[in-house]
Amino acid sequence: MNVTREQMEIWDKEYVWHPFTQMKEYRGEKPLIVDRGEGSFLFDIEGNRYLDGTSSLWVTVHGHKKEEINAAVREQLDRVAHSTLLGLANVPSILLAKKLVEITPPGLNKVFYSDSGATSVEIALKIAYQYWQQQGREEYRARHKFISLTEAYHGDTIGSVSVGGMELFHSKFRPLLFETLHAPAPYCYRCPLGKSRSGCDTDCIKELEQLLGRHHREVAGLVLEPAVQGAAGILVAPEGYLTAAGRLCRKYNVLLIADEVAVGFGRTGRIFACEHENVTPDLMCVAKGITGGYLPLAATLTTDTVYNAFLGETDEYKTFYHGHTYTGNPLACAAALASLELIERTDFISGMGEKISFLSGALGRFWNLKHVGDIRQKGMMAGIELVEDRSDKKPYPAGANIGHRVILEARKNGLIIRPLGNVIVLMPVLSMSLSELEDMVNITYSAIKTVTE
Ligand SMILES: *Cc1c(COP(=O)(O)O)cnc(C)c1O
């Protein structure tokens, strides 16, 4: 079909409702319409080239149009595009499950597939809840609640929103949500306990312990994003936080649910963020980077102990009655297998060390910009928090739309990034070269300078 750019723009504004987007504002701007991708770049339908500084929403691992992944998907396409996992098996989903068990923390031996990060979290919550319901001890059946962190983001379905902690996204839906207990986020720049980094003994962990002490008899699990609370603005947890949280879960006999949706598959410099502190959760959610950024796929992994609690005769009703139509889709699993092979085969993970150090070095210069309040980085994810006034950390008002203005400025210079409120997020494609990373950082620097000074 030969359609002009102008026509595409009209149809986009007429028919498409974009996620997380104020459509009134969007319709007043010239949309960027992606036509194709290659490596670290996306091209719009006019042929303009942009560095993909969001990894197409945190998913792209080996770059766009990666030959090996393309080939794997094509090959699978010639066999079968989809068949159901409800009562049947398919080849790529078996091979991928085996691979996931091999590369995730030891003890995670079972894989339940779904198709998005949100569903992987819903599944973890429902498994955790049902697990306690199926224990012999009567008192365990009172475990109906979850603990999550303030500022947490676990997806947009009602269950995952219930364990979310971001006022902006979640407060509107409060009447629809189930009750969740919140422990303070380890957000050191704006500590919810009013501490400063120097005068703090990870007091947020003490709060978590108190919460568990008071409520553990009614708590099924603690759900958290290991190492980095991503959507909250790349909030990097202090070292030891995850270890301490894991220890508390064991002490109080509460399941630990690690939401690795954003941080999994190399993003933080390890294949999984839990590896930084050698923590094995009871349930682990993975999605975003799993297919290398190709197709929607997610998985919830768990231990034999949890899985075994669901075994029984049909009329014992211990079955996990949950499933999505496209669960274990063969095309998506084939893409994931090819992506994981690339992660394992090459010096992919070890080679990231140099890029991560380069990024930290390059980000140091941003302190020269007087509206930069905080710079946070873990591996290949970074957040630059812009403030109206650095001395008192006064945020820009929402109406200033500062993040959005910065990313539009960057776009003029050939970089696609996306802000989280006043936080400018850098989420480079993991395979970006050092010189591409340098371009990404330089364009971002100038964009912040132009908009804020
Ligand atoms: C993106 C994200 C989700 C939701 O994933 P979707 O695929 O968008 O449903 C859940 N948890 C975390 C930590 C995320 O970053």
Q: How far is the CA of 75 from the centre of ligand 1 (A)?
A: 29
**Integer Cα distance of 326 and 97 in angstroms:** 16
* Strand 372-378 with 418-420, pairing: unpaired
Q: How far is the CA of 262 from the centre of ligand 1 (A)?
A: 6
Calculate the alpha carbon distances from 435 to 51, 66, 173, 378 in Å. Answer: 11, 19, 44, 20
Q: To 10 degrees, what angle do helices 330-345 and 91-103 make?
A: 40
The ligand 1 atom at the shortest distance from the C-alpha of residue 118 is: 9
**Integer Cα distance of 427 and 379 in angstroms:** 10
**Third-level CATH fold of 71-345:** Aspartate Aminotransferase; domain 2 (3.40.640)
Residue 197 has pLDDT above 80, yes or no: no
**Integer Cα distance of 298 and 73 in angstroms:** 17
Cα atoms in the 13 Å half-sphere on the side-chain side of 302: 23
Tell me, what amino acid is at 121? V
Q: What is the mean pLDDT of residues 234-254?
A: 97
DSSP state of 411: H
**Integer Cα distance of 440 and 426 in angstroms:** 8
Q: Is 229 left (phi over 0), alpha (psi -120 to 50) or beta?
A: beta
**Do 159 and 114 touch, CB atoms closer than 8 A?**
no
Residue 352: Cβ-neighbour burial (10 angstroms; 0-12, 13-18, 19+): buried
* Strand 235-236 with 228-229, pairing: antiparallel
Tell me, what amino acid is at 41? F
Helix spans in 196-288 (H): 203-215, 241-251
**Third-level CATH fold of 32-61+349-452:** Aspartate Aminotransferase, domain 1 (3.90.1150)
| 345 or 91, which is more confident | 91
Residue 277 has pLDDT above 80, yes or no: yes
In tens, the pLDDT along 371-410 reads: 999 999 999 999 999 999 999 999 999 999 999 999 999 9
């003994």: which residue's tokens? 201
In tens, the pLDDT along 265-276 reads: 999 999 999 999
**Per-domain residue ranges for the chain?**
32-61+349-452, 71-345
214: helix, coil or strand?
Answer: helix
pLDDT at 416: 98
pLDDT at 166: 86
pLDDT at 178: 96
Q: Is the CB of 286 under 6 A from ligand 1?
A: no
Q: What is the mean pLDDT of residues 425-444?
A: 98
**Integer Cα distance of 55 and 262 in angstroms:** 11
Ligand 1, from 18, 54, 148, 153: best to mutate by most atoms within 8 Å of Cβ? 153
Q: Which residues contact 343 (CB under 8 A, 6 or more apart)?
A: 61, 265, 266, 271, 349
**Do 273 and 261 touch, CB atoms closer than 8 A?**
no
Residue 50 has pLDDT above 70, yes or no: yes
Confidence band of 200 (pLDDT split at 50, 70, 90)? confident
Say what percent of the chain tops pLDDT 70: 100
Confidence band of 67 (pLDDT split at 50, 70, 90)? very high
Residue 1 has pLDDT above 70, yes or no: no
Ligand 1, from 154, 235, 268, 274: best to mutate by most atoms within 8 Å of Cβ? 154
Radius of gyration for the chain, computed over Cα atoms and rounded to the nearest angstrom: 22
CA angle 431, 277, 214 (to 5 degrees): 130
DSSP letter string over 62-85?
A: S-BT-HHHHHHHHHHHTT-S----
Confidence band of 198 (pLDDT split at 50, 70, 90)? confident
Q: How far is the CA of 121 from the centre of ligand 1 (A)?
A: 8
Q: Is the CB of 146 under 6 A from ligand 1?
A: no
């509107």: which residue's tokens? 172
Q: What are phi and psi of 109, to 5 degrees?
A: -115, -5
**Do 190 and 235 touch, CB atoms closer than 8 A?**
no
Residue 345 has pLDDT above 90, yes or no: no
In tens, the pLDDT along 315-330 reads: 999 999 999 999 999 9
Q: What are phi and psi of 200, to 5 degrees?
A: -130, 140
Calculate the alpha carbon distances from 159 to 58, 128, 179, 357 in Å. Answer: 22, 13, 10, 38
**Integer Cα distance of 207 and 193 in angstroms:** 9
